[in-house]
Amino acid sequence: MKMETFLLFDEGYFYRTWGNFAFVEKFHKLAPPNQKIGEAWLISDREEYESKVTEGTYKGKTLNELVRMFPKEIYGENLAKRYKGKRFPLLLKLIDANEILSVQVHPSDEIAKKLGERDGGKTEMWYILEAKMNSFIYLGLQRGVKKEHLLKEIRNQGDVERLLNKIYVKPGDYFLLPAGTIHAIGPGIVLAEIQQNSNITYRLYDWNRIDSDTGKPRVLHLDKAMEAVSEGGKSISVPRLELHREFGLEKFLCSCPFFNVKLFNVEKPANIWERNDSFHIVFAIRNTFLEYDNEEKIVKMGEAILIPALSTREIRVKKGEFLDYYING
């Protein structure tokens, strides 16, 4: 059977106490309209949510089934060898925060293995889609603050916030968070998050909130979190590189061992991908129009589509603005 060119999947929606209603009201998604949905999983190969194809020959097939059926076609030859027998390596989600999230950290692959976790580590990257006035995130610790200082404040119910590095954000900002980075998303933010396919989160501090279901504070994971924390830098700077092409803008946002991210703003039709050594996940910031062999596909704002490596060079982008997620083959 022939691999399809455009793979569009269903989406998983997750209630969170800190969630909001942007997925329905602003992105017109089919999320439950009266629930505070905090996360929308767009591309997922996990037991918690298996993305399923919504149209075409492989409608109903899971992403996991497809990468096992068509590894070379989806990954490209080199990546197919790297991920043979493994789950799809990335997880793409949207986060809609009406309240501040807990202060947390994710382990590296090495620390996750050391701690006996089933999952691997988790490096992630955020792209801010919407942010209210004075919205902020926390990334890392203030200069000179050690993780032991943070632990002491947490255990003594002290002023944790003053030890954290606070960054005010606006739409279009982006941040790479290597595993081990202490972080928290503030209220009034909608962001796109690409990450390693892992769901390990160690909660350091939850602002003394009480869980409405249990009437108790949520569980903290202080011992594991302290093991996972890296004191590298107070924030992660990403080099800014913009290329003004004939078709529009190509902007490099992130390159790390686990994924690469670009932003494209295409104003004139063009074939923008030159190689077939990786899949490409296209996440539309505004409606994006793709074409392959006289077949046109519209990726609506807030949607994601997976393009197998086999097809990328032949894809023509007619117009649109989107994030492009891929891996170096």
Q: Of residues 203, 218, 245, 316, which has the active-site annotation?
A: 203
Residue type, 47: E
CB 90 within 8 Å of CB 197: yes
Q: Residue 229 gets which letter from DSSP?
A: -
DSSP state of 163: G
If one counts every other C-beta atom within 10 angstroms of the C-beta of residue 321, the result is 17
Q: 46 an active-site residue?
A: no
Sign (positive/negative) of CA torsion 201, 206, 212, 213? positive
- How far is it, in rounded angstroms, from Cα 281 to Cα 41? 13
Q: End-to-end CA distance of the chain: give it in Å, rounded.
A: 24
Report how far apart, in Å, the C-alpha atoms of 174 and of each of 130, 238, 304 are: 12, 8, 18
Closest of 91, 93, 104 to residue 39, by C-alpha: 93
Q: Which amino acid is at 257?
A: P
Q: Could you give the residue numbers annotated as active site? A: 203
